Amino acid sequence: MRLKAHKIQPQIKRKRMLFFGEDWNNVFEYRANLTSCPVQTCTFFQQSHNPENADALIFHQADYDPGKVPALRRQNQIYIWMTLEAPSIPKVASKLSRKQKKQADNLYGYNDFFNWTATYHHNSEVFIPYGRLESLNGETYTHTGDMYQSYLADLDQTDLPNTWTTHHNRTKMAAWMVSHCGTDSGRELYVKELRQYINVDIYGKCGKLVCGKNHNDEFCYTDVLAPTYKFYLAFENKVCQDYLTEKVWLPLKHGLVPVVYGGADYSIFLPPHSYIDATHLTPNQLAKLLISVASSPREYTRYHLWRRYWRVSSTLPLCELCEKLHEEDSTRGRHYTRKHEKDSKRGRQYTMRKLHKEDGTSERRNLVSWWWKVNNCTTNYPYDHYVRPPEPHPPDNRTFLQKLKDGTRLLAGLVNAISLS
């Protein structure tokens, strides 16, 4: 199925990109075409009987099957490994079981197979965020420029606009839509403690409330959450660098204030006062902050002020893919491998390794270890690692004798209580 054909720009050879595999419909949903790209001389395909004719093939990690790769591969073809999921297998390859090693092959491909990566992490050749902010005039969100400075100045104003007065009529504090009840991030433990201090309505498999088939259903945000709740718990299932998913972008898009919990540096992606960061707060501290903001119309309005400047955009970066393929050295690419760099094994038959060695531009990476390293994931709150500093306790400065006396007094009190009962 041909996705989109665009007007050919003169003197630039058209590039053909094939999204290889079974079903890419969920990836293309709500995505933009190339009509506004600076370089438009690319054609994207979802199906092709001759994949060897494409300039680049994109493989989705979730659906990648090493037994169903093209039989032929031209030497200058770019194979792109694409994923929007954080890593979820052990870091040390030597400790993998046979089943896990087979799983790793399915996720990361064979030796010398991929040239580029396309992920949510900024260190990938092609950066594919779950969402992004763009200014109301279409410019990309940055921390520089007059618009950002104007926004910071507006935050300091005492008289804030009344554009979002309807938001103050929301009657409930926070909602959480979730389908995975046991996660690496330990978010469920954080929320369990948080609910001791404030009310959190839980939708999905981990709660008693239901809305749609999954938490991405548009009407859940427009008809259920936005009219009712002031805050949305945008808690990630993994705490990994740059892993900022639709859990953050959807509530932002639909008028809620996200309470974020994850491994991303949110200040890079979002302006101040557009979110509340729970990773630096204990559940008790977070509850106090939410109560304070919710009870002050002026403070709550500050968390919507960014909407006067930016909007949420969820687009597949086809522009970046097209432009990168047209770069002068794009057919060389980086080489991702499953072997150690000094391994002399050639790998797959249709490799680009020899081409790289001849022209001196070789840069090989172990895809598994690279993906783990750049994500820098931390797991299992609160058992293995605290995402944020635990709540401080005052030091116990009592002497040993004082502790002994206090313990004796407590024991005597318990004995007396039992005898009276």
Whether the Cβ atoms of residue 267 and residue 244 lie closer than 8 Å to each other = no
Looking only at the bridges linking them, the beta strands covering 15-20 and 116-119 are unpaired
322 shares a domain with 301: no
* Structural tokens at position 15: 């590039």
pLDDT at 214: 66
> Domain for residue 381, yes or no?
no
Low-confidence ranges of the chain (pLDDT < 70): 1-11, 23, 25-39, 89-96, 100-105, 161-165, 214-216, 315-316, 328-364, 379-421
Quote the CA–CA distance of 144 and 154 in Å, as a whole number.
Answer: 16
CATH number of the CATH domain containing 295:
3.40.50.11660
Looking only at the bridges linking them, the beta strands covering 42-45 and 15-20 are parallel
322 shares a domain with 199: no
322 shares a domain with 184: no
Q: Which residues pair with 172 in a beta bridge?
A: 229
> Domain for residue 150, yes or no?
yes
Q: Which amino acid is at 78?
A: I
> Domain for residue 281, yes or no?
yes
- Give percent of the chain above pLDDT 90: 33
144 shares a domain with 67: no
34 shares a domain with 70: yes
Quote the CA–CA distance of 303 and 293 in Å, as a whole number.
Answer: 9
> Domain for residue 408, yes or no?
no
Alpha helices in 312-391 (DSSP H): 318-325, 353-359, 367-375
State which of 335, 357, 375 marks the end of a domain: 375
296 shares a domain with 188: yes
Domain that holds residue 323: 2-128+316-375
> Domain for residue 403, yes or no?
no
297 shares a domain with 221: yes
pLDDT at 36: 60
> Domain for residue 272, yes or no?
yes
Q: Which helix (H) or strand (E) holds 192?
A: helix 187-194
| CA dihedral sign, ordered 364, 366, 369, 372 | positive
255 shares a domain with 204: yes
Number of domains in the chain: 2
Alpha helices in 13-157 (DSSP H): 25-28, 98-108, 146-155
The SS3 call for residue 285 is helix
Greatest Cα pair distance, the chain, in angstroms, is: 97
pLDDT at 359: 37
Over residues 170-181, the pLDDT tens digits come to 999 999 999 888
242 shares a domain with 172: yes
Rounded to two decimals, what is the model's pTM? 0.78
361 shares a domain with 253: no
Quickly tell me which residue has 């086809």 as its tokens. 318
Q: What angle do CA 165, 167, 173 make, to 5 degrees?
A: 140
> Domain for residue 33, yes or no?
yes
Q: What is the distance between the terminal CA atoms of the chain, rounded to a whole angstrom?
A: 79
> Domain for residue 135, yes or no?
no
Over residues 332-377, the pLDDT tens digits come to 556 666 554 333 332 232 233 333 333 334 456 788 888 888 998 8
88 shares a domain with 123: yes
251 shares a domain with 281: yes
